[in-house]
Amino acid sequence: MESTDRGARTGTATLRPSNAEDRTTRAAGNAGEPTLEFADGLPYDMYVRASTLHSLQRTVSEDTGEMSFLMISQIMELYFGLTCFELREAQKLLREDDVWGALTPLRRAALHVEGLNAAWRGLRWMTPADFNRFRDLLGEASGFQSAMYRQLEFLLGLRNAALMRPFHRQPEVHAALAETLRAPSLWDDVVALLARRGFDIPRVLLTRDVAEEHEAHPAVEASWVEIYRTDTPDNHLRMLAEALTELAEQFGDWRYQHVKAVQRTMGEKPGSGGSAGLTWLRRSMARVVFPEIWSARTVI
């Protein structure tokens, strides 16, 4: 959205800013009722683009249940993007050594993933017979092919360059994924922060190829053990650990609910995208986000 001195421009209409005085004047002129006439289009639609959003639900079957499946998939895509936005903001602040500032986007990110988890409830009605009524028409379409979900995994530190291959015919999407893969993950930035704060982090962890998935290291675990043992109100690193724990836990819940949704709607059948379906998802769940945050709890 392009910003100008007179407001934010969307298409040919302009979203004009207002202030408290403007709002008070309008409320008085309307005798407390909402404004019903707008000369330049609906401001809400200019900002939210609701009419565009609601034009994107294009089902491939006549089955009424497909609309739930499609819209909830789209809602999840929006949440993936929003969570990625928050994680990048947290990374920026951590690189600036602003641990206190990074807590806010991290906590928001965890709440967004909680919203993702809630979205699964909208599909609990779906039985195998319900899904089968339109599944064949989806062809090879699969959530495995979500570029934004892959961005989220890469940012969280779950990295596998091979998983970019489905996007090689989408140059911009592929390039964006490659850029994320080549840059430090959130966890890499946290480990670098620990080193800057004086914890004994081996140089090999700070200079490793970040495109490769991080492997748990006892030095990182030991750092978190020490941090958790300092139980004071001003221990921002302990607060960071708890914010990361909540995020990882919510993400783990999302993956688990994904498994349960697949189990409920298709059992052990092969996945639409060519995988073994449930078996592949279970194997994927074994990859742990922020591993030393969890292993430190055994030692503390």
Cβ atoms of 193 and 99 within 8 Å: the answer is yes
Share of the chain above pLDDT 90, in %: 71
Cβ atoms of 15 and 8 within 8 Å: the answer is yes
* pLDDT at 217 exceeding the cut of 50: yes
Annotated binding-site residues for substrate read: 135
CATH classification for the domain delimited by 65-299, as one of 3.90.1300.10, 3.40.50.1970, 3.40.140.10, 1.20.58.480: 1.20.58.480
Cβ atoms of 300 and 225 within 8 Å: the answer is yes
* pLDDT at 4 exceeding the cut of 60: no
Report the DSSP beta bridge partners of residue 150: none
State how far the alpha carbon of 131 is from the alpha carbons of 56, 58, 68, 138, 261, in Å.
21, 17, 11, 11, 11
pLDDT confidence bin for 274, thresholds 50/70/90: low
Report the DSSP beta bridge partners of residue 10: 13
Looking at residue 1, its pLDDT comes to 38
Helix (H, G, I), strand (E, B) or coil at 97: coil
Taking each helix axis from N to C terminus, what angle separates 65-95 and 99-119, rounded to the nearest 10 degrees? 170
**Residue 274: how many CB atoms within 10 A of its CB?**
12
* pLDDT at 20 exceeding the cut of 90: yes
User: Can you list the alpha helix ranges (DSSP code H) found in the chain?
Assistant: 20-29, 43-48, 50-53, 65-95, 99-119, 128-135, 147-156, 171-182, 186-196, 203-206, 218-229, 236-266, 278-285, 291-299
Tokens describing residue 11 = 């298409």
Tokens describing residue 226 = 């020490």
- Classify residue 180 as exposed, middle or buried by CB count within 10 Å of its CB (0-12, 13-18, 19+): buried
Cβ atoms of 243 and 87 within 8 Å: the answer is no
- Classify residue 206 as exposed, middle or buried by CB count within 10 Å of its CB (0-12, 13-18, 19+): middle
Please name which of 124, 134, 108, 40 lies closest in space to residue 250, comparing C-alpha atoms: 108
**Mean pLDDT rounded to a whole number for the chain:** 91
Cβ atoms of 271 and 145 within 8 Å: the answer is no
pTM over 0.85: yes
What Rg, from alpha-carbon coordinates, does the chain have? Answer: 23
* pLDDT at 5 exceeding the cut of 70: no
Annotated binding-site residues read: 135, 258
pLDDT confidence bin for 115, thresholds 50/70/90: very high
Average pLDDT over residues 25-31: 90
Helix (H, G, I), strand (E, B) or coil at 7: strand
Quote the CA–CA distance of 243 and 86 in Å, as a whole number. 13
Quote the CA–CA distance of 133 and 114 in Å, as a whole number. 30
276-296, pLDDT tens digit by residue?
Answer: 667 767 787 788 999 999 999
Tokens describing residue 72 = 């909830």
* pLDDT at 12 exceeding the cut of 50: yes
118-160, pLDDT tens digit by residue?
Answer: 999 999 999 999 999 999 999 888 888 899 999 999 999 999 9
Share of the chain above pLDDT 70, in %: 93
Domain-by-domain residue ranges, the chain? Answer: 2-53, 65-299
Report the DSSP beta bridge partners of residue 15: 8
Average pLDDT over residues 220-235: 95
DSSP letter at 198?
Answer: T
Annotated binding-site residues for heme read: 258
Range of lowest pLDDT (36-40, 129-133, 193-197, 248-252): 36-40
Looking at residue 11, its pLDDT comes to 52
